[in-house]
Structure 1
Amino acid sequence: MTRLSDTRFSTLDLAPIRDDGDAAQALRNSLALAQHVERLGFERFWVAEHHNMDGIASSATAVLIGYLAGGTSRIRVGSGGVMLPNHAPLVIAEQFGTLAALYPGRIDLGLGRAPGADQFTARALRRDRLGSADDFPQDVEELEFLLGPRQDGQRVIAMPGVGSQVPIWLLGSSLFSAQLAAAKGLPYAFASHFAPRYVHEAIRLYRENFKPSAVLDKPYVMLGVPLLAADTDERAEYLATSVYQRILALIRGQSLVMRPPVESMKALWLPHEQEAVGSFLGMAVIGSPEKVRARLEVLLEQTGADELIFTCDFYDPEDRHRSFEIAAGLR
């Protein structure tokens, strides 16, 4: 059984925008959180690409990574992830090659195959690009080539990028990327922080089919986990209502700006909406330090994950900081 003391802890941030704030404040909060978890000894700090969402400020992912890496000194910084169908592989190779040149040994490139946006936004992002999620395996291969050593006669190079060997991770919420990561011998991150349904089957497929590669000799699994920790169970449940409201807004197609916690959700959702939010947060760890420890130990026993990457969308940045302090204190 994997023990908490042997498990790497990391952070996934969406740079959430509060109802009383703006994108600039959200980005400053993201940097403050990265600095905080760096001091706590976390392994990495990732940000995710989302578009056309008024409550998320991490759309220009590579730009934000540069800001975060520049404001920290040790922690690895990367994408969780870049939605590759939205971009030409050469552009991503140049962006992350530049980041790797500026912050050597600290940049990760996590890749997803979903657009991270609705169909209208996806069309606006790509314009005349003909690619789609179906091209993901070929796009990953092209990106690996562009970040690898320069070949004789290579006509297109990423500069910076060529020879950088920026570590690539495959991200997924279904089974497709698990199988691709296994075939390519790449580390795999499962998005159980919002889609826990296939987590066990995806991990099994990945481990059973893993082929050692030049970058990884055995499977490496990271799990996304919503971390909603506070000093008491009651406090954690109260703060978690901000998260419930945000997911409810996502389900309803409403504004995703962060809203303050409320004493009760009863008047805010219908029974089927409560059930949908609960399903979304099926892997959430909510409660006091004791409850969080017990939940994480069960999660590790069930999955054998090598690393946990936590999300925490509490309304107040200080409550977010405290949540990560509680997690760090469990190891």
Structure 2
Amino acid sequence: MLAMLNRHLLGKSLNRIQSNSARLMLASQSNSTSTKSNSDSEEDNVLKENPYYGVYAEKLRKLKEENLTAYREKVEKLKSMKKPVVDKLSKEVNNLITEKQTSEPEIKAKPARRLSQSYLVKQKKLDDVMNVELLQGKNAEEISKIWIQYHKEKKDTPVVSAAVPYKNYKLFYNKSIQYPMFVLPLPRGDQGYEFMFVQFQHNVDVSNCTAHLTPLIAYQKHKENAPECMSIEYYSDLIRENDADNSTVLMRSFYDYKLLSPMEATCLVNQLRIFYENKNTRHETLLKLFNEGHSEFHYSDVIACVETLSI
């Protein structure tokens, strides 16, 4: 801003000096040689302090030779204008800098991630899915066979199903409440990995939950409106209070066959199980860092974990 003002003043002064040069030429010739020698040095120094002096140096030299009086008058004008103008601008700039420094907010840690929707919902129970009477009085192995066969018969619907021991599901469920969001890297052949964003929802009445998956890139763009490519449902309705650890939790997963193959859907189910079901310090650290929005979370660390798994 100061440079632009200096350049403007200097250029404007030169134009006015040149326009009056012919009219004032006679007056300039009446000055004595001794006065010229002493004052020239001071006048030149005043102009040379201007950062754009070099641009106009040749014009100044010619003007000085043609009209010395007009040249000196403009130098005096520049001397009288320069200091107050510069001081005023300097003060304004300093005020702006001070104001900016005092108005800038304090840098804070990145906030924890927020759920895009309420994760406590009224979800389906097992009897909304199938006739629970078919499973009454059956042991864990029999329940697993009936459940898996029931979904195999749904040939028009891409689905993965399994039975999970309650003692494993208990840790899985508790972690899903503590860390309701995560990302899973899906191998895509030569293309590397595609991350899937996971968000859990939990039943308000029983310990059932559903994991909703969508491509991370879609979630980043559309948030809660991102299209779902897969859901994984867990039903704990068959847990026996007097024998909970030997009870069975039923799982089924629906997926978009246009986006996922059966093998890829199974891979995601297993990844989710491993990260949430197992007692692994490294896995839990990643879950914690991601949900807290911590700067130390790195997607490459999740990939490194998955590459060591046999799924």
Q: Highest relative contact order (Cα 8 Å, sep 6+), 1 or 2?
A: 1
Judging by fraction of residues, say which structure has more helix.
2
TM-score (norm 1): 0.20
